[in-house]
Amino acid sequence: MRELRWTRGNNVEKREIYNIVIQNLPIGFSILDKDGIIVDFNAAAAEITGYSRDEVIGKPHFEILHGASDRDACPVLKHALSRKERAVAAETSIRKKDGEHAVLSVTTFPLIDDNGDLSGAVEVFRDISAAKRLERERKNILSMFAHDMKNPITTAGGYLSRLLSGKAGALTEKQTGHLETIREEIYKVSDLLADFLEFSRIEAKAYVLNPRPFDMEMALRRNVEAAKIEAEKKDIAVLFQASGEIPCTIVADPAMIGRAIANLLDNAIAYTDPGGTIRARLSGNASDILVEITDTGRGIPEDRLPYIFDAFYRVSRDSKGSGLGLFIVKTVVEAHGGRIGVASSPGKGSTFSFILPKADSTGITMK
Ligand code: ADP
């Protein structure tokens, strides 16, 4: 049987197969001896580094890839060798033959002999410089956009308020009407921008929780009362119900949790038709508290549910929001050591819920 031949084949055949596989791997591959000397180097490794196989075989890999004569210059290998783990994955910066730097994603597999001694290592690596640069540029665009948009919007809003107050001269009814419309639109942009700024702070990991004892029942009641004002405009009822082991005092960042609850209630109102009902429920046991926001709104199709917490994701393009609200809720809940969930029936309604541990699991910086 032909397909079994190679398993029974002689060593020459096996060596050939090994060479074909290694040389044609689409990722960089090198074998180092216990001193970090390169003993094998495939075509992709040559392409990534700019060095040919002949140029590097027999040379210390830290000299080739790090421009240093010290094996400590390779943090990945050093880590792998010292801890003798099966595999260590890391990102490392190398200098290519042309002098340019590249960021590599490297996985190092130490080779341990029968006596438990290190006999070398296998490294597989990919050049992730382009992805890293794109990521940096994306973050720069985000923070530039968020910061530079804020000032003009605030200034425009200030001048509009002054015009509407009549301090800059009397206005006709028509002019007042037009300016009020402009102000409504500016509020919308301002809300989008607030979400966007929050997102860019989370992205920049510039968010540190400010935890303190926090009464979830009081916070929910307060948010429900605030939501009623908007809900009444759409003839939607907002009800609150608490059960289980109350009081539900936890250690949490009040502003962030308040923001998460408000986002869920805002969505429930936005995606529920007039005449609907929204229920906020709080329950708890010895270890956790559970918050559920249920609406009788349009619901979310099942195939969209996996993406609903992604940043900038909106089920339909006619949504007026930024698609950041649920991403922020998820980030806040997870930063508190909690979990978020959703259940929905299209046309009938949705329930968004989150569980938070009663024990203090904050002190975690938002990622
Ligand atoms: P947005 O600012 O667009 O509301 P979110 O991240 O808060 O952004 O929500 C993402 C999308 O999830 C929304 O655009 C909407 O399509 C859907 N969605 C969120 N909450 C609900 C809900 N309670 N009922 C139905 N759809 C919802």
- Indicate which atom in ligand 1 lies nearest the CA of residue 313: 10
In whole angstroms, what is the distance from residue 150 CA to residue 228 CA?
29
Residue 156 reports pLDDT greater than 50: yes
- If you take atom 2 of ligand 1, which residue's CA is the nearest one? 321
Q: How remote is the C-alpha of 310 from its chain's centroid?
A: 8
- 2's enclosing H/E stretch is none
How many other C-beta atoms lie within 10 A of the C-beta of residue 274? 9
Structure token digits, residue 95: 């200098």
Residue 192 reports pLDDT greater than 90: no
pLDDT score recorded for residue 2: 44
Q: Of 2-6, 207-211, 312-316, 353-357, which range is least confident? A: 2-6
Structure token digits, residue 124: 């597989």
Q: What b/e readout covers 316-326, taking b as 16+ CB neighbours within 10 angstroms?
A: eeeeebbbbbb
- Indicate which atom in ligand 1 lies nearest the CA of residue 299: 25
Q: Which of 42, 41, 39, 49 is nearest to 26 (CA)?
A: 42
In whole angstroms, what is the distance from residue 274 CA to residue 298 CA?
11
DSSP letter at 115? T
Task: Answer yes or no: is the C-beta of 350 below 6 A from any ligand 1 atom.
Answer: yes
Q: Which of helix, strand or coil describes residue 84?
A: coil
Residue 120 reports pLDDT greater than 90: no
Question: Region 6-33: what's the mean pLDDT?
Answer: 83
Helix pair angle (173-203, 325-335), 10° resolution: 40
Task: Answer yes or no: is the C-beta of 104 below 6 A from any ligand 1 atom.
Answer: no
pLDDT score recorded for residue 358: 84
Note the residue count of the chain.
367
Residue 323 CA to ligand 1 center (angstroms) comes to: 7
Predicted confidence band at 6 (pLDDT cuts at 50, 70, 90)?
A: very low
Place of tokens 């070398």: 120
Instruction: Give ∠ CA 351-353-355 in degrees, rounded to 5.
Output: 165
Residue 68 reports pLDDT greater than 70: no
Q: How remote is the C-alpha of 72 from its chain's centroid?
A: 32
Residue 95 CA to ligand 1 center (angstroms) comes to: 46
- Amino acid letter, 358: K
Question: Region 265-274: what's the mean pLDDT?
Answer: 96
Question: Up-side HSE of residue 339: CA atoms within 13 Å toward CB?
Answer: 3
pLDDT score recorded for residue 364: 41
- Amino acid letter, 8: R
Residue 277's DSSP bridge partners are 237
- Indicate which atom in ligand 1 lies nearest the CA of residue 298: 25
Q: What is the DSSP string of 121-145?
A: EEEEEEE-HHHHHHHHHHHHHHHHH
Residue 142 reports pLDDT greater than 80: no
- 352's enclosing H/E stretch is strand 349-357
Residue 139 reports pLDDT greater than 90: no
pLDDT score recorded for residue 242: 87
Task: Answer yes or no: is the C-beta of 323 below 6 A from any ligand 1 atom.
Answer: yes
Residue 266 CA to ligand 1 center (angstroms) comes to: 9
In whole angstroms, what is the distance from residue 174 CA to residue 181 CA?
11
Residue 11 reports pLDDT greater than 80: no
Rounded to the nearest integer, the mean pLDDT of the chain is: 86
- Share above pLDDT 90 across residues of the chain, in percent, rounded to a whole number: 49
Indicate the burial class of 78 (C-beta count within 10 angstroms; 0-12, 13-18, 19 or more): middle
pLDDT score recorded for residue 4: 44
Name the phi and psi angles at 75, rounded to 5. -60, -35
Most confident of the ranges 3-7, 46-50, 110-114, 117-121: 46-50
Task: Answer yes or no: is the C-beta of 330 below 6 A from any ligand 1 atom.
Answer: no
Residue 362 reports pLDDT greater than 60: no
